[in-house]
């Protein structure tokens, strides 16, 4: 029995390497599929960009504030814009998959379904980053505020990761229902309250040059949220799409 188990034990690391390579290959395939589909249709990015710019313009004309007051509301306006544009993008992304039958094809593919989750999440994150990269300079010009602060950019990255991690999971759940356009925000916004609280507080602190001792608690909140909810989504995605 010992002689027979030795060759098996030696092959296990190689098997793990092959499985890991197949997993990352599946993730890359899903990401590339989403990017290629978006390049052809431009449905998700165009909707997110138009919505974001409209929100910024509305706030610009609605809030006729002085420079000092604008610095205190900048973080709130930014994250309201990111939240609604991100929700629109998540909804459109999963709705297109469902309507075209691509989601069923992905679920039937002989790959780990968590690879599908990470592929969709990274694709959605790329779309959100593109929108944010366009929104920041436009906001800076309209509000005469310099937003190219390394600390603020870090907060935007951390907040976007957590928002997309949860949003992709819930969008996969909501897309199976007839009221998906209404259900996703109802499910998503209460769960992502810690992200918005931490992101708005940390963004305001960086813009107003608060000491790092006051900012670290909010950064830690974002980091812990990202890690926990990404792990939770990884573990339960298979059960969500089965339902």
Query: What pLDDT is stored for residue 133 in this prediction?
Result: 93
Check pLDDT > 70 for residue 185.
Answer: yes
Do 168 and 124 form a contact (C-beta atoms < 8 A)?
Answer: yes
The dihedral through the CA atoms of 45, 51, 56, 60 has a sign that is positive
Mean pLDDT of 14-24: 62
- Looking at every residue in the chain, the average pLDDT score rounds to 82
Give me the percent of the chain exceeding a pLDDT of 90: 34
Q: Which of 180, 176, 161 is nearest to 231 (CA)?
A: 161
Whether residue 103 contacts residue 174, with contact meaning beta carbons closer than 8 Å, is answered with no
What distance in Å separates the CA atoms of residue 128 and residue 22, rounded to the nearest whole number?
A: 27
CA distance 237 to 146: 39
Distance CA 90, CA 97 (A): 11
119, 30 Cβ separation under 8 angstroms? yes
**Tally of residues, the chain:** 243
pLDDT tens readout for residues 131-151: 999 999 988 888 878 888 899
State the Cα angle at 118 between 80 and 149, rounded to 5°.
40
pLDDT at 67: 62
Least confident of 53-57, 102-106, 155-159: 102-106
pTM of the model: 0.85
CA–chain centroid gap for 152, Å, is 17
Q: d(Cα 80, Cα 145) in Å, to the nearest integer?
A: 17
> What is the residue whose two structure tokens read 């999963």?
94
Q: Would the pLDDT of 4 be above 70?
A: no
Question: Position of tokens 């909707």?
Answer: 47
Choose between 174 and 8: higher pLDDT.
174
**Residue 113: what pLDDT?**
79
Boundaries of every domain in the chain: 2-242
pLDDT computed for residue 219 by the predictor: 94
Eight-state DSSP code of residue 177: S
Read off φ and ψ for residue 210, nearest 5 degrees: -70, 155
Give 17's pLDDT tier (boundaries 50, 70, 90): very low
Which of 149-153, 172-176, 199-203, 226-230 has the weakest average pLDDT?
172-176
């Amino acid at each position: 029995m010992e002689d027979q188990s030795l060759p098996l034990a030696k092959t296990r690391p190689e098997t793990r390497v092959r499985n890991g390579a197949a997993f990352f290959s599946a993730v890359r395939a899903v990401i590339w599929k989403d990017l290629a589909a978006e390049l052809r249709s431009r449905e998700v990015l165009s909707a997110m960009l138009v919505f974001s710019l409209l929100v910024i313009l509305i706030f610009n004309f609605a809030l006729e504030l002085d420079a000092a007051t604008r610095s205190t509301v900048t973080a709130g306006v930014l994250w309201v814009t990111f939240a609604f544009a991100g929700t629109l993008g998540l909804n459109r992304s999963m709705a297109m998959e469902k309507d075209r039958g691509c989601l069923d094809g992905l679920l039937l593919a002989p790959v780990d379904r968590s690879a599908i989750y990470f592929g969709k999440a990274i694709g959605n994150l790329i779309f959100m980053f593109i929108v944010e990269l366009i929104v920041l300079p436009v906001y800076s010009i309209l509000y005469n505020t310099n937003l190219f602060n390394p600390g603020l950019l870090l907060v935007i990255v951390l907040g976007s990761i957590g928002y997309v991690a949860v949003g992709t999971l819930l969008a996969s759940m909501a897309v199976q229902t007839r009221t998906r356009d209404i259900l996703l925000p109802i499910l998503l916004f209460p769960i992502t309250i810690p992200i918005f609280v931490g992101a708005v507080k940390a963004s305001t602190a960086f813009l107003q040059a608060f000491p790092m001792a006051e900012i670290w608690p909010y950064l830690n909140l974002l980091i812990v949220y990202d890690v926990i909810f990404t792990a939770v989504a990884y573990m339960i995605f298979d059960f969500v799409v089965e339902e």
